[in-house]
């Protein structure tokens, strides 16, 4: 009898435990909070189209699990400290440009796009996703505690000037605002490559501190460059460049695998959509520029070939900056050869 009573008691306790456990609400999952600083001012399409789309889409799809707050330049740390601050974990996500990262990772110049390298979005994507570029640069960035999430193609970077140049030799002596890879052909054409914070570019052109710049065509409208340059030249110095978004590697590795997988899937989904949006804005920027009195100048075939020759002449110099930069340049050359790109 005692054994039966004991058995009944145990069964009752188990049943009560199952009922109570079934009714109890699961403990709420703590939302992972991340911060992201953008290198780009609010008006720039890298911020408006890319940074905001990435952050907003992740927040929407991972609501209740991960939330990212987006900050403009200098809001968390000064822009010159941005790359290292993300690597140290001051914030978790870094919207930047591969050319800016080249201060710490010389081979990032190749990730940005060397002048006269790939010619369009499809070739850039192929280099990264079929020829091993993404894995190669992830290894490079990991050495600085960054996870290279994706390259973000951004279209053309074109030469723009206040005064018209009729020959490439007319660039000699001109002060041209450039990002790092473009400095080589401008230098080799006798120009004076100049860099200053992006926020200062408009006023420097307006005041005549600069004679021109090499920059993306949508910004003729969105950064009002149409007011301070009169000529845009084709073919562009860079036909398709890449900016990038990276995560603090420790923060990335601490994410649950399912969240990592979802972020990767989101980037594969939205990156082509963002590219199409920016390509459309290039046409808008150029049309807006022409409507306001600007002129698009096509280099002659001879001038275009000479610009290409001079631009590629700097590749060995870029490769000499580090062993991995040499590897990246060699990867690029092998890719172009395999694709039949002269």
The 10s digit of each residue's pLDDT in 36-73 is: 999 998 988 889 999 999 999 999 999 999 999 999 99
Which region among 6-15, 127-136, 248-257, 326-335 has the lowest average model confidence (pLDDT)? 6-15
The residues near 273 (Cβ < 8 Å, ≥ 6 apart) are: 53
For the record, the structure tokens of 250 come out as: 């420790």
Query: Is residue 264 within 8 Å of residue 150, measured between CB atoms?
Result: no
Q: How far apart are CA 203 and CA 152, in angstroms?
A: 28
- Note the pTM of the prediction, 2 decimals: 0.84
- What's the pLDDT score for residue 28? 55
Domains within the chain, CATH numbers bracketed: 32-153+242-279 (3.40.190.170), 157-239+284-338 (3.40.190.170)
- Residue 17: pLDDT band (50, 70, 90) is very low
Bridge partners, residue 232, by sequence: 160, 296
118, 121, 122, 124 alpha-carbon torsion, rounded to 10°: 50
Q: What is the pLDDT of residue 294?
A: 97
- Whole-angstrom Cα distance, residue 91 to residue 77? 9
Q: What is the per-residue pLDDT for 29?
A: 73
pLDDT at 186 over 80: yes
| pLDDT tens column, 187-227 | 999 999 998 888 899 999 999 999 999 998 988 998 899 99
Q: How far apart are CA 311 and CA 151, in angstroms?
A: 22
Say whether 286 sits in a helix, a strand or coil: helix
pLDDT value of position 175? 97
Host H or E run for residue 158: strand 157-161
Q: Specify the pLDDT at position 252.
A: 98
Please determine, for residue 280, whether its predicted confidence score (pLDDT) is greater than 90: no
Q: Are 123 and 341 in contact (CB under 8 A)?
A: yes
State how far the Cα of 64 lies from the Cα of 58, in Å rounded to an integer.
11
The 3 state secondary structure assigned to 219-239 is: HHHHCCHHHCCCEEEECCCEC
Reported as type and span, the H/E element at residue 95 is: strand 93-97
Residue 7 has pLDDT above 70, yes or no: no
271 close to 169: Cβ distance less than 8 angstroms = no
pLDDT score of 153: 84
- Tell me the average pLDDT of the chain: 90
Is 308 exposed, middle or buried, given 0-12, 13-18 or 19+ CB atoms closer than 10 A? Answer: middle
d(CA 294, CA 292): 6
Q: Summarize pLDDT for 93-119 with one digit per residue, the tens.
A: 999 999 899 999 999 999 999 999 988
Copy the structure tokens of residue 209: 């501190």
What single DSSP character describes residue 119?
Answer: -
Does residue 280 come out as left (phi exceeding 0), alpha (psi in the -120 to 50 range) or beta?
Answer: alpha
State whether residue 149 is helix, strand or coil: strand
Q: In sequence order, what are the residues at sequence separation of 6 or more whose Cβ sits closer than 8 angstroms to the Cβ of residue 77?
A: 37, 85, 90, 91
Band (pLDDT 50/70/90 cuts) for residue 10 is: very low
Whether omega for the bond prior to residue 235 falls within 30 degrees of 0, making it cis, is yes
């Amino acid at each position: 009898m005692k054994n039966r009573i004991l058995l009944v008691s145990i069964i009752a306790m188990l049943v009560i435990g199952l009922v109570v456990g079934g009714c109890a609400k699961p403990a709420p999952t703590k939302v992972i909070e991340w911060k992201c600083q953008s290198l780009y001012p609010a008006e720039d399409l890298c911020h408006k189209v890319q940074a905001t789309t990435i952050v907003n889409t992740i927040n929407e799809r991972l609501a209740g699990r991960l939330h990212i707050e987006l900050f403009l330049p200098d809001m968390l740390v000064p822009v010159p400290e941005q790359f290292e601050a993300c690597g140290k974990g001051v914030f978790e996500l870094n919207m930047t440009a591969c050319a800016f990262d080249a201060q710490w990772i010389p081979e990032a110049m190749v990730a940005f796009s060397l002048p006269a390298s790939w010619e369009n979005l499809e070739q850039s994507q192929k280099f990264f996703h079929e020829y091993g570029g993404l894995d190669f640069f992830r290894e490079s960035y990991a050495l600085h505690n960054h996870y290279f999430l994706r390259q973000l193609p951004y279209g053309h970077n074109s030469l723009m000037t206040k005064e018209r140049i009729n020959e490439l030799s007319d660039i000699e002596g001109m002060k041209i605002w450039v990002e790092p890879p473009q400095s080589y052909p401008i230098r080799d054409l006798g120009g004076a490559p100049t860099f200053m914070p992006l926020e200062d570019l408009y006023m420097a052109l307006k005041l005549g501190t600069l004679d021109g710049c090499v920059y993306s065509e949508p910004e003729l409208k969105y950064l009002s460059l149409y007011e301070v340059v009169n000529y845009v030249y084709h073919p562009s110095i860079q036909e398709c460049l890449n900016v990038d978004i990276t995560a603090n590697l420790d923060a990335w590795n601490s994410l649950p695998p399912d969240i990592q997988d979802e972020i990767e899937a989101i980037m594969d989904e939205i990156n082509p959509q963002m590219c199409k949006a920016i390509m459309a804005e290039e046409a808008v920027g150029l049309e807006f520029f022409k409507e306001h009195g600007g002129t698009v100048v096509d280099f002659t075939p001879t001038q275009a070939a000479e610009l290409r020759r001079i631009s590629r002449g700097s590749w060995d110099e870029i490769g000499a900056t580090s062993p991995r930069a040499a590897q990246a340049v060699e990867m690029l050359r092998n890719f172009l050869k395999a694709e039949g790109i002269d």
